[in-house]
Amino acid sequence: MKDMLWQYLRIARQNMLWKLDGLTEYQMRRPMTPTGTNLLGLVKHLALVEYGYFGLTFGREFPARFAELEKSAIARLNSDMWAAADESSESIIALYREAWVHSDATIAALELDSPGTVLHWPADKQNIDLHRVLVHLVAETNRHCGHADIVRELIDSSVGLRLGNENMADGDAQWWAEYRAELESVAREADEVRPKN
């Protein structure tokens, strides 16, 4: 069970970084939603999430770099969701890869039923085990991969589940344009025939 969850986490991590391939600094940082969602910010956030859940939760040592970033995330609301101009994309990607090494050491060292404590969760839910953390991180990472899918498509129309397995219909640009137009038409039609609240 541990190996299967670990493998799903590894795949999701790689998928997240794949969404940055070939983009400029601006494209990686560009806020694409009203709440500022951006690709590099998602990577930075996931790095801090991994350090927290696989480090603090189990009382394991972690690099000082994480403590500094966590302190700054507390000092400035939402600063874990974007990279400052002086934080290079290479440094954020390296941070995420460092988090993987740290997390993987924790996963390798502990059993699925090894206890941990998530201090920022409600008091009655704080006591958990490695199994729960792995499930949580697989879900969390894949959730943000979904965000990255949409953000990347908005940036340059690149789509796909993961490198080598895009998992998309085999339509060309014309087919996709017609498909989207059909969905727009259906949405408008449905809105016209449904009673308004």
More confident residue, 144 or 177: 144
- Mind listing the pLDDT tens digit for each residue in 112-152? 999 999 988 999 999 999 999 999 999 999 999 999 999 99
Distance separating alpha carbons of residues 118 and 197, to the nearest angstrom: 42
Residue 117 · residue 57 · CB < 8 Å: yes
Q: What is the pLDDT of residue 152?
A: 95
Q: Is the dihedral of CA 158, 161, 164, 167 positive or negative?
A: negative
CB burial class (10 A; 0-12, 13-18, 19+) of residue 43?
buried
How many Cα atoms occupy the beta-carbon half-sphere of 111 within 13 Å?
Answer: 3
What confidence tier does 14 reach under pLDDT thresholds 50, 70, 90?
very high
Phi and psi dihedrals of 192, rounded to 5?
A: -75, -35
What confidence tier does 193 reach under pLDDT thresholds 50, 70, 90?
confident
- Kindly report the pTM of this predicted structure: 0.88
- Mind listing the pLDDT tens digit for each residue in 18-72? 999 999 999 999 999 999 999 999 999 999 999 999 999 999 877 766 767 676 6
Q: What is the pLDDT of residue 192?
A: 86
Q: What is the pLDDT of residue 73?
A: 65
DSSP bridge partners of 127: 117
DSSP state of 58: G
Report, as an integer, the average pLDDT of 168-175.
Answer: 82
CA dihedral of residues 136, 16, 97, 29 (deg, nearest 10): -120
Closest to 36 measured CA to CA, from 91, 94, 79: 79
